[in-house]
Structure formats: structure tokens, C-alpha cells
Chain A
Amino acid sequence: MPEQKTVATTGNSVVAEAFRQCAPDVVPAYPITPQTTIVEEFAKFVAQGRVHAEYVPVESEHSAMSACVGASAAGARVMTATSSQGLALMWEELHIASGMRLPIVMANANRALSAPINIHCDHSDVMGARDTGWVMLFAETAQEAYDNTIMSIPIAEDPEVLLPVMTCLDGFITTHSIDRVQLMDDESVSAFVGEYKPVNALLDLDNPVSHGSFAGLGGPYFEFKRSQREAIDRSKAVVERVGAAFSELSGRPFGLIETDMMDDAEVAVVVIGSTAGNVRHVAKQLRAEGVKAGLVKVRCFRPFPYAELAAALAGVKAVAVLDRAESFGAEGGPLYLETRSALYDAEHRPAVVNYVYGLGGSDVKLELIRSVFTDLSDIATGTPALHGPVYLGAR
């Protein structure tokens, strides 16, 4: 295992470091809170000559993703970062990136969407992008944000995948807090991500191709979409393989889902992102009090690990799914819908309840997590489960 350097720094700072180590050819970006310091630090690396990338300071996020699409189609390794309204402004380009099968890697600082205006953490921005055909990885900590960013390159560029990857970290909580992080050396990361060999590059003049052509009525549009579906389905094995290889290299675990204390758990919480830490902390306390509490953290949301999640929840009596985003008009939040779907074919189906929490950065206090486990213990002993999302801690 190569020697690693332990540092005290922010999530954004280590994502910028991962960008530099992945050596992209082109980084078009537009700053937005709380993503700004990623592109600011990366731009500094370019100015210092520490990375040989074309940094394109564009005039909007729509232009940022347009430039990513153009550069990636030309045959460049392309990375960018955004957040919230910026991701929303990229919308049509997100579909174009995945439809053109461009292995762009984008970091997203998870943040609430307007209105009302709010710059703090939730998953409304990224969850809205869950059907845009991007692979989506989520980080609990700055360490995972760093690791996920590096893993995103070989996942995106795998010939079996060729899809864009979004690597998501919680705004402010992860982006701006100083945390203890281990960094790999440049050579190890460089060897791990490998050299980019573009497929169907526009600048490959010996093999002329066209990208994003008209595929109207009677054309191959329908079949294109099926091939995209097949690619993201295949990506699951690739995410696992790349994760295992990175795990070997770094000594840190990686799973599509990661479980804690689930072997004999009777009550469990399914959650994404930084709140997994709060849940782990409370579950450990409850274990000491004799409650069989467990945690399932979803680290890869697209492709969604249905079978793995169902298996992890197989012996559980009551499950709470914590969503940091709404799906207005649906039965519950996006993670809840996926979890219920994962359990439909299960032999034993536990009671499942949904909590919407932490919107707009609302603090996820430990007593709130404790109250979720108390509800679960009640449900496990016969109290009927609630339907529709509970707004956890809302005044």
C-alpha cells in the first residue's frame, strides 16, 4: 500500500486536490456557493502550473456543461463542479452529456433549491438529477468525497460504461468543514485513473464521426435510450470493481451500500451523505442500551443497489428511510421510493417509514435521530407505521 499523507483540510480542498491528481485536459466551470472553493483552488493549480489543464471560466453553468460536452466529444478528459441552481441551469446539458455517452466527471456540493433562497445543504438539487442518466456517488465525509472523485474517472471512462459521473458531497457540512483526510501520492492516483483513451473522439481525424445527430421518428432514438439503460446497468459491476481496486490501494472500504451493526439489527435507518455519521453515532449509543439498531448508508445512488439493499434489510422488523429531498406528490422522498421498490420482491418485508429531514441545512440533531429509532422500536412492537413523510424536527 503506498504511503499516504494525513492532512487537516476541507472537503472542497481535497476534491480540488483529486481533480488535480486526475489530470483532466479541460475544466470549464462557473462558481456557486458552496462549490466555489473547488474551482477556485483548481484554477490556482492551473495558474501555478501544477496541472496542465485548460481552465475555462465560462459565463454560466449552462455554458459550463455545454463546454464540457464539446470538449469531451472532442476527446478530452473533462471535469467540472457545481451546486444547486447551477446544477438546475445545466439541466438540458446533463441529458446531452449522458445521451452522447460522454465520461464527464462532476462534483456537486449538495445544496437546497430556491424558492425561498437558501445556500445550505440538502439533496434537492442532485435528487432532481437522478433521471438524467448520470452515475451518482455520495460521500459521508471529506475522505469519501476525495475517494469517490478519484474512482469516478475509471468508472466513467470504462469502455463498458462511457457515462458521466456525479460525485456528491454535502454543502458546508462536508465542503467547508475541516476534517482529517488521507491523501494518496500523485503517482498512485495517476496510475489508478490511467491514461484516457477517448472513444469516437471528434478530433480523431482519421476516423470521422458525428455526435448528437438527429434521430427522429423512425430513427434510432428508442434504441439509443435502451443502450443507455444497458450501460448504466453494466456500470454497477464496474463501480464495484473500481471500488474494490481503490479499496485495495487505499485501505479504505467501499461498497454500493455500507452497513453498520446490521447483522442482528431489528431496527435500521437507511440514509445518504453526512447524516450517516450522526445515525452511526446514535445507533452505537442505542446498542449500548440494548437496542438492536443498525445503519445502511447508500454510497451509490445511480445505478441503485436494489438487491444489496434488500439483502441488508432482510432480517429487520422496521426501517426508517431518511430523505434530504422531497418528491412532491409522491408517497415519500426519492430514497424512500427506491427502498420500498427494493423490498417489493423480498420474502420478508419490514415496515418502512419515511422521514424528510434537514432541508435547507436544518440541523440534524442527535435527539432527532434518536426519536426516529424510538419510533422504529414502537413499530417493531406493534404500533402501526405512519404513511407519508414525517418532517423530522420541523417546527
Chain B
Amino acid sequence: MSGAQPPITGKGRPRGSDGFGWRAFFQHSRTPVFVVGKGRRLRFANTAWEKLTGVTLAEALGMACSARRAGSALQATLAPTPEAMAGRADRARRPAPPAKNGPPWWDITFVPLAGESGIFGVVGFIQVVGEPVPAAAKRVPASVAELRAARAAHFSFDLLEGPALATAHFVSQARLAAQVNAPLWLVGERGSGKETAARAIHHSGPNRERAFVAVDCAGLQPYLIESALFGLGGVAASERVGTLYLKEPTALPRDLQQKLADHVAEHPQLRLACGSEHTAAHAVSTGALVPVFQTALSALELRVPPLRDRLDDLPRLAARVIPNRALDSAALVVLQAHKWPGNLRELADVLRDAAARAPDGPILREHLPLVMRVKADAPRTAPSKPLELDAILEAVEKRLIALALAKCDQNQTDAAALLGVFRARLSRRIEALGLQQKKPEGGAP
């Protein structure tokens, strides 16, 4: 480890910078800073970084920062996230190397350096968080960490992506939500995938190395929820928990809602995410939720689109539910004609049933439920006739004038009086409308 600052060379001064040395700029920072190149090789690290890692820059220069198996824990920890390599600033929480679990953690902010030809490097800023826990408490085996890693890889934004516009809009909002630690409120219909979205945001967010705890507020008795969260050995106060997801928090009694709100206020490192069919504002207005959920605990409100608004995603979703099974184009037409009131849950049920009916080969139209096929075959409602006001008014006027003339024995003066207009106007309208006036039965007009 080197305590002395290295001499500033001309390499740290960009062309035309008139003596500005960026290396010296970073050397004075107490925040550990490092720079990796496009190929993920370490190009620079400041003194604070050397102090934190116990490795000198001279030793580490050119080190590949990636999570390859052969690499060291430090290399894996410093690896820029895929988001950063894609050109978006990102933050990751990782166990301080060489430990495989935190705390302490390193919160690393990755800032991409983009040029005209794409990314040419990434700057990383490290912040150390959390105190080390006694070794006796670290009993969770490495195999569980592997299961976690596989799970985290599954719940990525790729899981949510799709060609539908509604999906693209939602995913970009979710990406933004993953950048911050603000409380999250997910609104969406039943079965639309709110919890999956919350998990994906968690696994891409700054708390990704910590646990995601989902609580079914409607499915568990309040005392069980309170015991699991706040009881002896409850997880709520644990440094291990990164996101607490409440499924339908309106089902909780108000005192427990308030207790949760107070707890989240006291533990800013814990992210609260709620999933509901209604907005927090609606739930508060109906008295089902304490007001703090609307004011402080739904800072980000994301609307998960229903499946009927993202029918373009159907082939992709089907491939996920029944992998290695093709979907016939006629079957796809039937699926696209359905309104999907039960959303993704209903889709999964339908596709699994269809797959069970046809153990081999592609899913055909006849493997889908009859009711869906009938509905898809039903002719669409004919487009309504255009309502052309002028033509309608003209027809009505014609009929009324003809009626008045018939009643008055083709006498225009009487007909005008009956219609409440001057005779001259009636004559003009008869001419304009091309009405053929009949001769009066009694003689001259």
C-alpha cells in the first residue's frame, strides 16, 4: 500500500486543458475512486482506493474487473454493471471483498464515460456501508448464496421487456425506479405481475445484494406478519433486508400499517415497495390505508400495464411460460383476441393446460379453451354508421315541409304559418331542397 501521492504526470492532463490534471483532482478525494477502460481493465485508482483495498495502483493496474470464476473477489466487486456498460449510470451494493456476504458492503456508483464511438470507460465511486457482523452469525451457507445469485439473474429487466409500447414505457420507468431507493407503489390489476416487477427492480437496484422480503398482507394473519417482521428474530430491522414488499397493504390493520410506516422512516436503508390494485391516494381516501402511505411511502408510483394492453408481448410471454414449445400462428390469433381479465396468471394457466393437452409439438388452436376459440371466431361489431348532421337535418326538413304542405293542401302560405316561418323562406327552402310540389286537389296553387 502506498501512502504517498504519486507524481502528477502529463498523462493526467487532457489536450488543451491548460494544466488541469484529473489524476491529482481525484487523488485529493477521500472517496475511493477508480477508472476502468472499455475492456474492463483497471486504468486508475486514487489513494483512498488503495487504502480501502490494501492494493497499490501499480499492482492493480491492468487488472480485469469482471465476475469471472478465476478472478479474485476484488475483481468481481469492482466489475461494472451491465447497465453501466450500456451507458447508464448505475449503483450496486456488493459485499466488501474478500467476504462473500455483507455487511460491510460497498455501494459502488458507476458513471459511464461515453464518447462518439460509444463507451470508453467507467468511473467508480465506492462508499462503505454497514458494520461487520460477528462471524458466528454468518451461518448461511455458500449454496444459498448461489441460489440467490441464480434467482437474481432470473429477475432482471429482461424478464419484463417486450415489444409492446406499454411494456417499454413501464420498463423504462422501472429502470429509473431501480436507480433510487425511494418507496415504491405498484398499481396494477390482479395477476399483472406487480411482485415480479418489484423483484426485478430490487435485483437491479442498490439493495440487490440484500434480501427481498415479500409479505402477503391479505393471506397472513396480522399477528403472524408482526411476528415475522418485528418479533424475536424478526427480519424488519435486519441489515440483511433490502426491500420489504407488501402485497395489498390495505388488508393490514391500521395500527400495523402505522408501525410499518414508522419503521421505514427510522430505517432509511430499507426500501418499502407496495403492490395494490388501487393507488395509494384511492386507498387513503377510502380509509383503508393510513395517510403516510400516500404522502411519504408512495414517492414513486408505477402502473403495471394489464396484459390486454401488451398483446404484442404474447409470443415472448408464452415462450417463458412454456419454454421449448412453439405456438401456432392460429393459436396466437385466438390468444390475441382474448381480453385477459386474469392477466399473466390467466395466460400461464391457459398455456400450461394447453401444453398438458398436447404433450408434443406446437400448441395449436384446438388445444386452447373452447370459449376463447368461439370468442375469437365471433364477427367483430360492424363499425357504426357515420352521423352526418347536415344530411340528417336536410332529410328531416324535407319530411316536415312535405308534411306541412300535405296538411295545408299544398298551400304555401298556410304551410309557412304551420311551420312558423315566413312564406318567402319556405319557398326558398322548397327550391333548395328540390321538393316537387304537388298540385292542390281543389284547383290552382
Partners in one complex: no
Measured CB to CB, the residues of A under 8 A from B are none
